[in-house]
Amino acid sequence: MTKHKNAQRCLSLASLLAVLAISAPAGANFSPGTGVRLDEYGDTFEEPDWTYNYNNPKLENQYHNPGSGWVNNIPNGNNPLGGSANGRWREGTVRGQPDIIRQVRRPRNGLRNSRYSLQLRTRNSGAPGLTEGTLQQDDLLNYGIGNSSVNRPLGKGLSVTTRIYLPRLREWEQREGPHIGFRVGATGRNDKGQSVDYWPGIWIFFQKDSKGKPSFRFSVRANNAGEDTWATEKTYTRVGWWTLGMSFNADGSISYYASPGVDDLTAADLLVFDTGSGTVPATYKPYGLNFIDLDYLFFSLANIDGQWSTEFIVDDVSVYAQ
């Protein structure tokens, strides 16, 4: 989790103000979900008897923290990797898959034409056979059918969306920090013209106030300097279905969106941070990179290794192009 370790902590006010002082591109070009859905990517989970083959043992987490700092020296040889029967989902090659990946009946108030969704939960997210009691994560990756990579270039109007069902706040793993991320594996270009792999996305953070009242908020990975940053100053207690999305803009930036419910995203759903003296839209070139192409989509589940993560249900994972 070395590339993701900044997601473990909430930003202090001082660092948050420093992050907001870094300039971001002016705004988004279009809303996620605009254009034509590319059916070879994503998943609706509507296939009868949708199944996932775990092919255990799961991958040993290459990035882990034995208590003395992050290391990347766990061997990675457990082929065949886990994968869905429909060929759309598979275990990654850096971290293991969630312990529960299961088709379930869609919770109420979801998409009208949807009957089924996907349940995600994990417990043993570190090295198999070794419970470290530290913050870990498991990943589930989505590729195009029959492809080793989505490999969709920026082109015109590329975007991704999903719906995530959030349980009642008392049912979350009672731990402040990141719980689920909707992310992409992408290729970017740095200021030297070199191609670089990176993994931008939206994380949902759980927190409690001084009186112990729980809420959640959105963080994005990452700003132009490569730091995780709050997408908005708002905190939320409304659970149930949320729609998340990312648009990949013509200038190489990425815009991050979120909205309660399952309605299509609009320009009004672009996450914005109100500093009191102005607003900062959640539109960045993460790590200073210009987006080139989309390699895959994935969900990250974070938990304290050895205890059950929050249970999330996802639906309608989609890629669109205008």
Which tens digits make up the pLDDT trace of 219-246?
999 999 999 999 999 999 999 999 999 9
pLDDT at 7 over 70: no
Q: Which of 40-49, 137-146, 228-237 has the lowest average pLDDT?
A: 137-146
Q: What angle (nearest 5°) sits at the alpha carbon of residue 312, between those of residues 181 and 138?
A: 50
| pLDDT level of residue 128 (50, 70, 90 thresholds) | low
Alpha-carbon separation of residue 58 from 5, 89, 90, 125, 234 (angstroms): 22, 14, 11, 9, 37
Which tens digits make up the pLDDT trace of 171-200?
999 999 999 999 999 999 999 999 999 999
| pLDDT level of residue 155 (50, 70, 90 thresholds) | low
Structure tokens at 130: 């070794």
- According to the model, what pLDDT value does residue 40 have? 87
- According to the model, what pLDDT value does residue 78 have? 67
Mean pLDDT, rounded, for 30-51 = 94
Mean pLDDT, rounded, for 60-64 = 66
Q: Other CB atoms closer than 10 Å to residue 277's CB: what's the count? A: 5
pTM metric for this prediction: 0.88
